Amino acid sequence: MRIGIANDHRAYAVKERLKNLLDNYEIIDYGCYSDERIDYPKFALTLSDAVINKEVDLGIVMCGTGIGVSIACNKVKGIRCAKIDNKAEAKSAKEHNDANVLAFSAQSHSAEEIKEMIEIFINSTFLSDPCYKIRIKQVENYEETNEY
Protein backbone atom coordinates (compact mmCIF):
# COMPACT_ATOMS: atom_id res chain seq x y z
CA MET A 1 0.00 0.00 0.00
CA ARG A 2 1.23 3.45 -0.93
CA ILE A 3 0.46 6.14 1.63
CA GLY A 4 0.87 9.83 0.86
CA ILE A 5 1.56 12.11 3.78
CA ALA A 6 1.52 15.92 4.04
CA ASN A 7 1.72 18.39 6.89
CA ASP A 8 2.25 21.94 8.00
CA HIS A 9 5.14 23.19 10.10
CA ARG A 10 3.42 22.37 13.40
CA ALA A 11 3.12 18.71 12.40
CA TYR A 12 6.60 18.30 10.94
CA ALA A 13 8.16 16.46 13.92
CA VAL A 14 5.16 14.13 14.31
CA LYS A 15 5.20 13.36 10.58
CA GLU A 16 8.88 12.45 10.64
CA ARG A 17 8.29 10.05 13.55
CA LEU A 18 5.15 8.62 11.91
CA LYS A 19 7.00 7.88 8.66
CA ASN A 20 9.41 5.67 10.63
CA LEU A 21 6.53 3.89 12.37
CA LEU A 22 4.76 3.13 9.08
CA ASP A 23 7.69 1.09 7.80
CA ASN A 24 5.40 -1.66 6.42
CA TYR A 25 4.10 0.77 3.79
CA GLU A 26 5.53 2.76 0.94
CA ILE A 27 5.40 6.36 2.14
CA ILE A 28 5.43 9.31 -0.24
CA ASP A 29 6.11 12.59 1.54
CA TYR A 30 4.42 15.63 -0.02
CA GLY A 31 5.86 18.08 2.51
CA CYS A 32 6.42 20.28 4.25
CA TYR A 33 10.02 19.42 5.01
CA SER A 34 10.88 21.53 8.06
CA ASP A 35 9.34 23.29 11.03
CA GLU A 36 9.65 26.66 9.31
CA ARG A 37 6.25 28.37 9.10
CA ILE A 38 4.33 27.63 5.88
CA ASP A 39 0.78 27.79 4.56
CA TYR A 40 -0.83 24.33 4.79
CA PRO A 41 -3.21 24.46 1.77
CA LYS A 42 -0.40 23.93 -0.76
CA PHE A 43 0.62 20.65 0.84
CA ALA A 44 -2.91 19.41 1.61
CA LEU A 45 -4.05 20.12 -1.95
CA THR A 46 -0.97 18.51 -3.50
CA LEU A 47 -1.66 15.37 -1.46
CA SER A 48 -5.34 15.44 -2.48
CA ASP A 49 -4.36 15.59 -6.14
CA ALA A 50 -2.09 12.57 -5.60
CA VAL A 51 -5.01 10.61 -4.12
CA ILE A 52 -7.33 11.56 -6.99
CA ASN A 53 -4.65 10.68 -9.57
CA LYS A 54 -4.09 7.31 -7.82
CA GLU A 55 -0.44 8.04 -7.10
CA VAL A 56 -1.21 6.83 -3.56
CA ASP A 57 -3.86 4.55 -2.06
CA LEU A 58 -4.46 6.63 1.07
CA GLY A 59 -3.67 10.17 2.13
CA ILE A 60 -2.67 11.32 5.60
CA VAL A 61 -2.64 15.05 6.42
CA MET A 62 -1.65 16.73 9.65
CA CYS A 63 -1.48 20.21 11.04
CA GLY A 64 -1.70 21.62 14.55
CA THR A 65 -5.40 20.84 14.87
CA GLY A 66 -6.13 18.76 11.76
CA ILE A 67 -8.99 21.12 10.94
CA GLY A 68 -7.37 23.37 8.34
CA VAL A 69 -5.89 20.52 6.31
CA SER A 70 -9.19 18.61 6.36
CA ILE A 71 -11.09 21.65 5.08
CA ALA A 72 -8.53 22.15 2.30
CA CYS A 73 -8.62 18.50 1.24
CA ASN A 74 -12.41 18.40 1.13
CA LYS A 75 -12.40 21.21 -1.46
CA VAL A 76 -11.04 18.70 -3.99
CA LYS A 77 -13.77 16.81 -5.87
CA GLY A 78 -13.58 13.12 -5.04
CA ILE A 79 -11.77 13.56 -1.74
CA ARG A 80 -13.50 12.32 1.38
CA CYS A 81 -11.24 13.57 4.16
CA ALA A 82 -12.15 12.59 7.71
CA LYS A 83 -10.63 14.34 10.70
CA ILE A 84 -9.88 11.53 13.12
CA ASP A 85 -9.61 11.94 16.90
CA ASN A 86 -10.04 8.38 18.17
CA LYS A 87 -10.10 4.71 17.17
CA ALA A 88 -13.89 4.56 16.78
CA GLU A 89 -13.79 7.45 14.31
CA ALA A 90 -10.98 5.73 12.37
CA LYS A 91 -13.13 2.61 12.00
CA SER A 92 -16.27 4.57 11.03
CA ALA A 93 -14.36 6.71 8.54
CA LYS A 94 -13.72 3.55 6.52
CA GLU A 95 -16.89 1.57 7.27
CA HIS A 96 -19.42 4.37 6.75
CA ASN A 97 -17.68 7.02 4.65
CA ASP A 98 -15.01 5.16 2.68
CA ALA A 99 -12.67 8.07 3.39
CA ASN A 100 -9.59 8.34 1.21
CA VAL A 101 -7.74 10.94 3.28
CA LEU A 102 -7.36 11.02 7.06
CA ALA A 103 -6.58 14.25 8.94
CA PHE A 104 -4.94 14.35 12.35
CA SER A 105 -4.04 16.91 14.99
CA ALA A 106 -0.32 16.84 15.68
CA GLN A 107 -0.79 18.78 18.91
CA SER A 108 -3.38 16.33 20.28
CA HIS A 109 -1.90 12.99 19.19
CA SER A 110 1.48 11.35 19.20
CA ALA A 111 2.85 9.60 16.14
CA GLU A 112 2.22 6.29 17.90
CA GLU A 113 -1.45 7.12 18.50
CA ILE A 114 -1.87 8.26 14.90
CA LYS A 115 -0.29 5.04 13.63
CA GLU A 116 -2.79 3.00 15.69
CA MET A 117 -5.71 4.91 14.19
CA ILE A 118 -4.32 4.51 10.66
CA GLU A 119 -3.95 0.75 11.19
CA ILE A 120 -7.55 0.48 12.41
CA PHE A 121 -8.71 2.38 9.32
CA ILE A 122 -6.65 0.21 6.95
CA ASN A 123 -7.86 -3.01 8.57
CA SER A 124 -11.52 -1.98 8.38
CA THR A 125 -13.78 -2.54 5.38
CA PHE A 126 -16.29 -0.23 3.75
CA LEU A 127 -19.71 -1.64 4.62
CA SER A 128 -21.84 -2.77 1.71
CA ASP A 129 -25.09 -1.38 3.11
CA PRO A 130 -26.62 0.69 0.29
CA CYS A 131 -27.35 3.59 2.65
CA TYR A 132 -23.61 4.38 2.87
CA LYS A 133 -23.16 4.33 -0.89
CA ILE A 134 -26.20 6.58 -1.34
CA ARG A 135 -24.89 9.12 1.19
CA ILE A 136 -21.47 9.25 -0.43
CA LYS A 137 -23.06 9.73 -3.85
CA GLN A 138 -25.25 12.55 -2.50
CA VAL A 139 -22.20 14.40 -1.20
CA GLU A 140 -20.14 13.80 -4.34
CA ASN A 141 -22.92 14.89 -6.70
CA TYR A 142 -24.08 17.96 -4.77
CA GLU A 143 -21.76 20.38 -6.55
CA GLU A 144 -23.13 19.30 -9.93
CA THR A 145 -26.81 19.02 -9.02
CA ASN A 146 -27.30 21.16 -5.87
CA GLU A 147 -29.55 18.30 -4.73
CA TYR A 148 -29.17 15.78 -1.95
Active site residue ranges: 63, 96
Full 3-state SS string of 38-106? CCCHHHHHHHHHHHHCCCCCEEEEEECCCHHHHHHHCCCCCCCEEECCCHHHHHHHHHCCCCCEEEEEC
**DSSP state for residue 129 in the 8-state scheme:** -
